[in-house]
Amino acid sequence: LGTGTHNQIELKCSGGNLVDLYITLPADIIHGESLGKLMGQGESRYKSNCGGSFHIDPTGFQ
């Protein structure tokens, strides 16, 4: 997605599982802009409570 875009992501885990992923975008979004370019315009705020590793369930897991 581009250099530094990892700084626009917030990860939240519970019990070793990834439960939320937030992407910081600018307040004004221009239709047609790529996600990487939009992420480069957002406020840098990387945060995570996931530790060194986490589990992601397969799609559709209940």
Q: What is the per-residue pLDDT for 60? A: 65
Segment 42-60 mean pLDDT? 82
Q: Is the pLDDT of residue 62 over 70?
A: no
pLDDT tens-digit profile of 3-37? 878 888 889 999 999 999 888 888 888 889 888 88
Q: How far does CA 17 lie from the centroid of its chain? A: 15
Measure Cα distances from 3 to 26, 35, 37, 39, 40 in Å: 17, 12, 10, 10, 8
pTM of the predicted model over 0.85: no
Closest to 5 (Cα-Cα) out of 32, 26, 19, 20:
26
